Amino acid sequence: MPYDSAIFIHPQKFIIIVCHVDDLITTGPDENQIDQVMGRLSKKIKLETIGQVKQFLGMQIIPDYDHQSLKINQTKYTRSMLTRFEKENVRPVSSPVELGVNLLPSTEQASHSETHRYQQQVGSLIYLAINTRPDIAFAVNRCARYMSNPNESHYRALERIWKYLKQYPDLGLTVIC
């Protein structure tokens, strides 16, 4: 059976176990069956049950029982990055990309410190875009193309993404169960 080394699926019971380092998340349609599987697993390795998952790998996980869904976001991470990069007071905007603005390669070499700061910001945004914020993926990808030598127009494009995140820090993914 093909599988990801960190995701295990019981083919008959459809119990899913997600493993990252020493953290496990389990889910499935029948809680008794989950308990049985985890009971057998706990005989082989030491397990501590902490209840319903609220956070995993820096992502907040919020169940919506009425709609049988999970909302997954990185609001805390987003706000911490706005603070880290001193963007808490930016003017919010409603889109991550300004229409009609083309980014072009730099004609002059940026300083090492400017380049490093730009790379830190883009890296933080890539982490968001990959995990829970596909709405910023295009804008971040545009900025990432110029990580080796950013200019003022690239910084403005980056600033636009931060302004958008200031407006919508709570957006994320909704998974229908």
pLDDT tens readout for residues 14-34: 889 988 888 888 988 888 999
* Cα-based torsion angle of the residue sequence 106, 108, 114, 115 in order, rounded to the nearest 10 degrees: 60
What residues make up the domain containing 20?
1-51
Based on the fold, state whether residues 92 and 10 are members of the same structural domain: no
Confidence of residue 51 (pLDDT cuts 50, 70, 90): confident
Residue 131 lies inside a defined structural domain of this protein: yes
CA distances from 43 to 7, 112, 140, 153 (A): 20, 54, 45, 58
Closest CA to 134 of 171, 80, 85: 171
Cα 7 to Cα 29: distance, rounded to the nearest angstrom: 17
pLDDT at 1 over 50: no
Is residue 47 within 8 A of residue 54, CB to CB? The reply is: no
Q: For position 3, what pLDDT does the model report?
A: 52
Confidence of residue 149 (pLDDT cuts 50, 70, 90): very high
Based on the fold, state whether residues 112 and 158 are members of the same structural domain: yes
Based on the fold, state whether residues 108 and 154 are members of the same structural domain: yes
Based on the fold, state whether residues 24 and 93 are members of the same structural domain: no
Count of domains in the chain? 2
Q: What is the value of pTM for the model shown?
A: 0.84
Based on the fold, state whether residues 85 and 27 are members of the same structural domain: no
Which are the contacts of 115, defined by CB distance < 8 A and separation ≥ 6?
147, 148, 149, 150
SS3 content of the chain, % helix, strand, coil (to 5): 40, 20, 45
User: What are the φ/ψ torsions at residue 16 (nearest 5 degrees)?
Assistant: -110, 130
Note the pLDDT tens digit of each residue in 63-90. 998 998 999 999 999 999 999 999 999 9
Based on the fold, state whether residues 79 and 147 are members of the same structural domain: yes
Residue 70 lies inside a defined structural domain of this protein: no
Note the pLDDT tens digit of each residue in 100-146. 999 999 999 999 999 999 999 999 999 999 999 999 999 999 999 99
pLDDT at 2 over 60: no
Residue 69 lies inside a defined structural domain of this protein: no
Based on the fold, state whether residues 47 and 80 are members of the same structural domain: no
Confidence of residue 151 (pLDDT cuts 50, 70, 90): very high
Cα 52 to Cα 67: distance, rounded to the nearest angstrom: 18
Residue 56 lies inside a defined structural domain of this protein: no
Residue 152 lies inside a defined structural domain of this protein: yes
Segment holding 20, helix H or strand E: strand 16-20
Residue 61 lies inside a defined structural domain of this protein: no
Based on the fold, state whether residues 16 and 90 are members of the same structural domain: no
